[in-house]
A and B are shown apart, each in its own frame.
Chain A
Amino acid sequence: MEYRSEFTGSPVVVMIEGVLTFDDHERFRELVGTLADQAPGPVVFDLSGLTMIDSAGIGMLIMANDRIVKRGGGLRLRGVSGQVAKVVELSRIEQLIPIG
């Protein structure tokens, strides 16, 4: 997984690319930490460059949402497609994290 963001503006948009799996835990935590320091408001994860996600990846999105919501911001996902869209649809996480 790679991520890119200017960490400015509102919302702060983060492009997440590649595959998001158990192995990306450290890197993803680093992203969540940076967001906590630099993005007090709403955040958008743009997943249009994300090709695959596993259950650990879904867990990381839920964890990020939890952190962002707890500090008064909001997380939104956009650009889900392919396998990611299928996993998101099965898990119904739009009930936890708005999508679109």
Chain B
Amino acid sequence: MDVAHSQSEHHEPARDRILIVDDQASSRLLIGSVLEAAGYTRLAYAGDGVEAIEWLAANTADIVILDIRMPRMDGFEVCREIRGRLALDLPILVQTGIQEADCRVDAFKVGASDIVSKPLNPGELVSRVRLHLERRRMIGRLQRYQDRMEDELRAAQSMQLALLPGPEDVAEILQPRGAAMTAFYRASHMLGGDLWQVFPVDETRFAVFMVDLSGHGVSAAINAFRVNMITAGLVQERAEPARWLAALNRTLVPILPVEHFATAFYAVIDAGAGEMRYAVAGAPPPLILRGDGRWEELSGRGLILGCLADAEYECFSAQLGPQDRLFAYSDALYEDFENPDASLGAEDIAMAVQAEAAAGSDAFSARLLTRLFGRPDAEFRDDLTFLLIGLNAS
């Protein structure tokens, strides 16, 4: 990053284009000669506001030096025009006479960047011109830097979205194994630390995995990419949730900084047998929504990932009938730090999911968010993921 480079280095007066607007020819000449003596050679002149606006419509200036009292169109009007239509960031240096003290506040109100008093002090004029040109260059550099960062973040964001399985990938694995899934993911800062995956285990079983890396933004996203690479290699362990999470944990411990960790849920589902085996690492307990309207929270627990290399995980099991659904979600769904009393309980979530899932899978995620938060594009302070898995989908 070179935005902080010194101010003097970029001071090349010959490059800057300055428009001088004054109805007095003698004033224009005076300002012009002062600036030329300071090294500014690209000078343009306008005799009133109309000429100034015409010139600015056809050319670009780096700074405008503007008189207030002029025929046809005065300096206030020129300021308004520039700020309203032409360039919000163009520095405008307004000259006012001593008897025009009231003008000063008005000039700032209409968008002047700074004021110089008449009669002009040549040293002061040059200093102020130089200051505003440097400031403009600095802002330009920051703007270009920000644009580049945004482009890079957008590229990284699409790479991250490409990590997540698409609906066809999910259907290819789940459909032949008697299940269907709706997934929702949204990062809070373009990039996020949530990730979910599905894997085939054998001909009748599949596995589903959801992970939430602590933190958000770039570092969490990089860790999500790492997890994605690690899990691609965990093939031998796929049928065994506890062994699978333990293996992931062992690999993460040396990678993650001490204050970073991950929460995760991994389940192997056998739709035909109506059974799910799962292991948990600090994740919010997923819900089972029964076909008859009852619901329960999975009771399995386990240590967060990435802290203790020899941590052991326990495998739990649960029955999952043909009309039942499994709902797994990240903590962003219920934690509300701005308004703790609005934090949702498991029952609130279960009721909402039951109601919206019963209405079909079309637009389930948008309907669920609307029911819980009033609108489908509600904002969250953390990355949000949820998965709804139903069995016996036909």
Our verdict on whether A and B bind, yes or no, reads: yes
Interchain CB contact (< 8 A) of B258 among A63, A92, A93:
A63
| Cα separation A59 to B219 with both chains bound (whole Å) | 14
| Known pairs A51-B340, A66-B258; A95 contacts B214 (CB<8 A) | no
Decide yes or no whether B40 CB sits under 8 A from chain A: no
Q: Can you list, as one digit per residue, whether each of B211-236 has a CB less than 8 Å from chain A (1) or not (0)?
A: 01011000000000000000000000
* Pair A55/B258 contact, Cβ less than 8 Å: no
Residues of B within 8 A of A66 (CB): 258-259
| Cα separation A62 to B331 with both chains bound (whole Å) | 19
Interchain CB contact (< 8 A) of B301 among A60, A62, A89:
A89
Decide yes or no whether A34 CB sits under 8 A from chain B: no
* Pair B340/A58 contact, Cβ less than 8 Å: no
Would you list which residues of chain B between 309 and 335 have a CB under 8 Å from chain A?
A: 311, 331, 335
| Cα separation A27 to B284 with both chains bound (whole Å) | 28
* Pair A59/B259 contact, Cβ less than 8 Å: yes
Decide yes or no whether B282 CB sits under 8 A from chain A: yes
Interchain CB contact (< 8 A) of A54 among B258, B260, B382:
B382
| Cα separation A66 to B307 with both chains bound (whole Å) | 10
Residues of B within 8 A of A90 (CB): 263, 282-285, 301
Residues of A within 8 A of B215 (CB): 22, 55-56, 59
Shortest C-beta distance, A89 to chain B (Å), equals 7
Interchain CB contact (< 8 A) of B307 among A21, A54, A62, A89:
A62
| Cα separation A75 to B136 with both chains bound (whole Å) | 52
Would you list which residues of chain B between 185 and 215 have a CB under 8 Å from chain A?
A: 212, 214-215
Decide yes or no whether B261 CB sits under 8 A from chain A: yes
* Pair B282/A96 contact, Cβ less than 8 Å: no
Shortest C-beta distance, A85 to chain B (Å), equals 13
| Cα separation A99 to B197 with both chains bound (whole Å) | 34
* Pair A95/B340 contact, Cβ less than 8 Å: no
Would you list which residues of chain B between 275 and 325 have a CB under 8 Å from chain A?
A: 282-285, 301-304, 307-308, 311
Residues of B within 8 A of A60 (CB): 259
| Cα separation A75 to B376 with both chains bound (whole Å) | 43
| Cα separation A83 to B263 with both chains bound (whole Å) | 17
Would you list which residues of chain A between 75 and 96 have a CB under 8 Å from chain B?
A: 83, 89-93, 95-96
Q: Can you list, as one digit per residue, whether each of A41-61 has a CB less than 8 Å from chain B (1) or not (0)?
A: 000000000011011101110
Decide yes or no whether A36 CB sits under 8 A from chain B: no
Decide yes or no whether B337 CB sits under 8 A from chain A: yes
Shortest C-beta distance, B191 to chain A (Å), equals 15
| Cα separation A65 to B212 with both chains bound (whole Å) | 22
Decide yes or no whether B343 CB sits under 8 A from chain A: yes
* Pair A91/B337 contact, Cβ less than 8 Å: no
Decide yes or no whether A14 CB sits under 8 A from chain B: no
* Pair B331/A95 contact, Cβ less than 8 Å: no
* Pair B212/A55 contact, Cβ less than 8 Å: yes
* Pair B302/A92 contact, Cβ less than 8 Å: yes
Residues of A within 8 A of B302 (CB): 92
* Pair A62/B258 contact, Cβ less than 8 Å: yes
Interchain CB contact (< 8 A) of B340 among A22, A52, A55, A62:
A52
Residues of A within 8 A of B212 (CB): 55
* Pair B301/A58 contact, Cβ less than 8 Å: no
Q: Can you list, as one digit per residue, whether each of B246-286 has a CB less than 8 Å from chain A (1) or not (0)?
A: 00000000000011110100000000000000000011110
* Pair B303/A95 contact, Cβ less than 8 Å: yes
* Pair A52/B337 contact, Cβ less than 8 Å: yes
* Pair B214/A59 contact, Cβ less than 8 Å: yes
| Known pairs A55-B331, A58-B214; A95 contacts B261 (CB<8 A) | no
* Pair A59/B303 contact, Cβ less than 8 Å: no
Would you list which residues of chain B between 354 and 394 have a CB under 8 Å from chain A?
A: 382
| Cα separation A59 to B214 with both chains bound (whole Å) | 8
Interchain CB contact (< 8 A) of A21 among B258, B301, B311, B337:
B337
Shortest C-beta distance, B313 to chain A (Å), equals 10
* Pair A91/B260 contact, Cβ less than 8 Å: no
In the complex, which residue of chain B has the Cβ closest to the Cβ of A66? B258
Decide yes or no whether A15 CB sits under 8 A from chain B: no
Shortest C-beta distance, A26 to chain B (Å), equals 13
Residues of A within 8 A of B382 (CB): 54-55
Residues of B within 8 A of A55 (CB): 212, 214-215, 261, 263, 331, 382
Residues of A within 8 A of B261 (CB): 55, 58-59, 62
Query: What are 5 inter-chain pairs, A to B, with CB distance below 8 A?
Result: A51-B340, A59-B261, A60-B259, A83-B335, A91-B282
Would you list the 6 A-B pairs with minimal beta carbon distance, nearest first? A59-B259, A63-B259, A91-B282, A92-B303, A55-B214, A66-B258
Chain A residues packing against B (C-beta within 8 Å): 19, 21-22, 51-52, 54-56, 58-60, 62-63, 66, 83, 89-93, 95-96
